[in-house]
Structure formats: structure tokens, C-alpha cells
């Protein structure tokens, strides 16, 4: 369709916008309320390095969430944003799995694997529906 954007699949659109909303919420929490966000996510350490990395990840999540919302009415752009977000989520799950080899990671690793893995799966499913 030259000159016209194809509308996204409604179910896939709803799913990825829901994830994007959660991503923005978590990102804002990570940037503005870093210590409480770390505790909610299962991390005990709240040293300067942990807080800095949390803020970086929060900024990244805000950016990805906003990109997804900006693409919400353009099927191709939403597919690209969704595929990117799914790749980032898969990377997060893998990083948490690696960290989970250390018993100190405990609950944070399990939560990160489950949430990152679930978001990656939904993102992969939605990317396919948006193709």
C-alpha cells in the first residue's frame, strides 16, 4: 500500500501496548525511585553501581516503551519496535539466567528470567502477527 500505512493486528497491538505501558511504568520507577524499585525487583544490593545500572535500564525501558506507543498505528513500524523490544527482553532473560548461577541473585534472577522470557515470547508472537 503505497502512501498508506497498514493498520496493526488489534490483538497483537493490545498485547504490545500493554507491555509498553508496563515497561514505561517500571522505567519511570527505576529512574525516579531507584532503591524501592530495586527492592521490588528482588535485589538486596543498592550500592551506587546498582543504582546507576538500574537508572540506565529504566531509561532504556522508557525509550522502548515510547517508541512502541509512537508506532502504535503503523503495522510495519510497530512490528519493528516489537521485534526490537522482544530481543531486548530475551537478552535480559539470558543475563538473569547467567546471574542466577550465583545463589546471591536468588529471587531477582528468577523474576528476571520469568518476566523477560514472558515478554520476549509475547513479543515474538506479536511480531509474527504483525508481519
pLDDT recorded at residue 5? 65
Domain locations in the chain as residue ranges: 10-129
Residue 73 vs residues 25, 30, 130: alpha-carbon distances, Å: 21, 28, 11
pLDDT by 10s per residue, the chain, length 131: 444 567 888 999 999 999 999 999 999 999 999 999 998 888 886 789 989 999 999 999 999 999 999 999 999 999 999 999 999 999 999 999 999 999 988 899 999 999 999 999 999 999 999 99
pTM for the full predicted model: 0.89
* Cα(100)–Cα(114) distance, integer angstroms: 12
Amino acid at each position: 500500500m503505497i502512501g498508506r500505512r497498514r493498520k496493526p493486528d488489534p490483538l497483537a497491538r493490545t498485547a504490545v501496548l500493554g507491555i509498553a505501558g508496563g515497561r514505561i511504568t517500571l522505567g519511570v520507577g527505576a529512574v525516579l525511585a531507584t532503591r524501592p524499585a530495586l527492592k521490588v525487583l528482588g535485589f538486596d544490593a543498592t550500592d551506587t553501581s546498582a543504582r546507576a545500572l538500574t537508572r540506565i535500564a529504566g531509561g532504556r525501558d522508557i525509550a522502548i516503551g515510547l517508541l512502541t506507543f509512537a508506532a502504535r498505528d503503523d503495522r510495519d513500524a510497530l512490528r519493528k519496535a516489537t521485534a526490537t523490544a522482544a530481543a531486548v527482553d530475551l537478552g535480559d532473560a539470558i543475563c538473569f539466567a547467567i546471574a542466577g548461577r550465583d545463589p546471591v541473585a536468588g529471587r531477582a534472577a528468577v523474576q528476571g528470567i520469568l518476566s523477560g522470557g514472558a515478554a520476549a515470547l509475547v513479543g515474538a508472537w506479536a511480531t509474527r502477527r504483525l508481519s
